[in-house]
Structure 1
Amino acid sequence: MDYENEKLNFLNETKSIKTYRYYVENSINELKHLKFNIGKTILFRIFFCLLILIIILFRGHFICLFGFINCYVTWPFSSPVHIKIDLLNLSTKPSQHEYIPRRMHHILLGPLSQSPPESWLTSRNSCIELHSKFEKHYYWTDENSKEFLEKNYSWFLKTWFSYKTIVQKADALRYFLLHYYGGIFLDMDLYCLHKLDGLFNYLDDRVSADEHIFLAVKAFPVGISNGFMISTRNHPLLQRVIENLELYNRNFLLPHATIVISAGPMCISIQIQLNRSLWNSILVLDGKENMIGGKTDTPLFKHLGSGSWHKADDMIFKNIPMNIQRQNQTFSISVIVFIILIFLFFIGRNKNFIKFIKKQRKELI
């Protein structure tokens, strides 16, 4: 009888041990599975937090790139009025009212202004000679450009001096000059072949005293070129451009992309697409024969296409600030937000883990 009782007790103990082992092994397996799932969840949450942090830190870049993509996608389907006109046979009869100031602007900054290439001086002189009756011919260098900005747009000087290349400074300056003085801007490497009086008269006839007009040449594949622009004073498009130059003053890693987006032709093209209410005052000179990219002849100009300023492009790679230094407050706030999000996610994870352990203990009891 004692033997049977001992045997029964032994079997019960063995069964209990097996049951305990089963629960232990089952708990271990579930813990491993939970650990794996928690690992995946943590990685996802960390990635999500990093994504939020990147968006906060580089929100300016995303805004600029959105404008860039929007311009490329929408321009082929919807853009300001493109005109095709016979530039050499326009009427030279003076308009009844000259709404566009007869002022010509050329810019030459940096070391080249001390000893300009002979071909550039020849190009500029050709335009001055053909338009000797213009009210004023401006030649902008580092000295008088700085004075002009100090006097009229002092708030922009910090951004202007922060540009890493001369071409960015020249690109930005032309918008301010046309906004303040009006008239025509021409790159130094544009040699004038014919008078522009007919084109000025044509544009004057399309506006009135309380209206504006802006003309630029179509660029490839989208947008306009900023090497040849005609505008009335205080044109709202130019106002939009100069208001956004500080926002677009960012490094986009690629030198050419940084130049054309920060202040170059894409900068003004983006603003054209983002401000469709201004399209009734914007004209784009269409036709492949009028494009001024590279070495080419157009009905009005001979484009030397020197591109010398772009030799400074490699300077951008020497300093990639990413705008973090200028955004210390934003950076600090972003880091704090990131830490809080991680903390909250880990609290949620720990609560789930604690609930699981309590559940397993109840089952074992």
Structure 2
Amino acid sequence: MLRFSVRLSVLLWGIALLTTLGYSISRLLVFKQIFLEHAGIPISQPQVAEAYGGANETRPQLIPKIIHQVFHNWKDPGNETLPSDWDHVRKTCTDANPDWEYKLWSEKSSRDFIERHYPWFLRTYDRYRFPVQRVDAVRYFILMHYGGIYLDLDNGCKTDLTPLLYYPMWITDPGRGALSNNVLASSPHHPYWIRLTQSLIPYNYDWFFPYVTISYASGQWFVTAIWQEYHSLLPPVDQNPAIEHRQYRLMMDDRDGADPSIYFTQERGGTWVNWDNRMFLWIGDHLFLFLLLVVGGISSTVWGCLRLRRKYAGGGKQAYTRLNSTI
């Protein structure tokens, strides 16, 4: 009887371990799209500049001349005064695009906008675990509602952005890893943003790690996942040679040898860095060592379970022998 109990305990522990491992792997697989080649049409900034016809441009302008930026002051709520360095970066865009409408969305105006136009999302918006998730989410609703170009406050403008307005929508691609949500552009009511905003609630999952939660519930991993989903619903290119439904990835690769950035600058960032950012950066820089540690940890766990099984099985055998010797 004792031997049966030991075997049952080991079996249950094994089932629990395999179930946990299987669930963890299934959840991790949702991140696979950040490592794959992204869908859509890659276009470099020099290609955009070359395609622009200036005063002789014959293509229809699809994106309105609006620049959106979001400033939520987490350190001093209610203070809507931009830090001086961000204000300087902002002015590079307003000075280079004087005939554009400019909208700076504060914490209050962002929430009022969601409450007025998308009240079905307000509960999720208010309950986000991290403030930056509200900044992420509101930019998507703003682009869907108004259209225009969205810029993070640490992105400046080098020149007139008009050549970027002749595409139905585009998203920025840093050339490695996930797509980016720091610079985005769209015509109003584009179906990609409709699908994305409707996916915010289903994707609002707490992954424990702040960086992973932010990235996959509302940030760049989320944007990448919906981008891939959106394009997977379109007809294959070989069945639909007219590829106008495939959207553009504006390349913003800052590595040596990549095409230069003609339209945007990148200033200071890191406003939402959490403790686990450093951990993931360390893993990225020491991937081989990390894999060795994972394999070693799994091996140690399996070895420990086997040791416990032999120990308890041996104890049960000794108890059974003692019981027989007393009869």
TM-score, length basis structure 1: 0.62
Q: Does 1:102 align with 2:65?
A: yes
Q: Does 1:92 align with 2:54?
A: yes
User: Match of 1:310, SS?
Assistant: coil
1:91 maps to amino acid: G
Q: Does 1:305 align with 2:268?
A: yes
* Greater Cα radius of gyration, structure 1 or 2: 1
Which structure's residues are more often helix, by fraction? 1
For 2:34, which of 52, 59, 72 is the aligned residue? 72
- Which residue is 1:272 aligned to? 227
- Residue 62 of structure 1 and its aligned partner are, at CA, apart by 8.0
- What is the aligned-residue identity percentage? 23
- Residue 176 of structure 1 and its aligned partner are, at CA, apart by 0.6
Partners of 2:97 and 2:160 within 8 A in 1: yes
- Which residue is 2:7 aligned to? 40
- Residue 300 of structure 1 and its aligned partner are, at CA, apart by 1.3
1:122 maps to amino acid: H
- Residue 166 of structure 1 and its aligned partner are, at CA, apart by 2.1
**Residue ranges of structure 1 left out of the alignment (5+ in a row):** 1-30, 204-212, 292-296, 316-365
- Residue 248 of structure 1 and its aligned partner are, at CA, apart by 2.0
TM-score, length basis structure 2: 0.69
- Residue 157 of structure 1 and its aligned partner are, at CA, apart by 1.1
For 1:250, which of 205, 208, 215 is the aligned residue? 205
Q: Deviation digits for residues 160-192 of structure 1, max 9, x if unmatched?
A: 111222211101111110011111101111111
Aligned equivalents of 2:269, 2:252: Cα separation in 1? 22
User: Match of 2:91, SS?
Assistant: helix
Name the count of aligned residue pairs: 258
User: Match of 1:248, SS?
Assistant: coil
Partners of 2:62 and 2:165 within 8 A in 1: no
Q: Does 1:226 align with 2:181?
A: yes
- Residue 43 of structure 1 and its aligned partner are, at CA, apart by 4.1
User: Match of 1:288, SS?
Assistant: coil
2:173 maps to amino acid: K
**Residue ranges of structure 2 left out of the alignment (5+ in a row):** 235-242, 277-327
Aligned equivalents of 1:67, 1:274: Cα separation in 2? 12
1:106-185 superposed matches below 5 A: 106-111=69-74, 113-134=79-100, 136-185=101-150
Partners of 1:81 and 1:283 within 8 A in 2: yes
Change (3 A) 1:220 1:83: closer
Change (3 A) 1:64 1:171: farther
Change (3 A) 1:65 1:175: farther
User: Match of 1:129, SS?
Assistant: helix
Change (3 A) 1:187 1:117: same
- Which residue is 1:237 aligned to? 192
Change (3 A) 1:250 1:173: same
Partners of 1:82 and 1:285 within 8 A in 2: yes
- Residue 144 of structure 1 and its aligned partner are, at CA, apart by 0.9
- Residue 85 of structure 1 and its aligned partner are, at CA, apart by 4.6
1:140 maps to amino acid: W
Q: Deviation digits for residues 113-159 of structure 1, max 9, x if unmatched?
A: 5332111111112212222222x211100111111101111111111
For 2:159, which of 194, 214, 233 is the aligned residue? 194
User: Match of 2:53, SS?
Assistant: coil
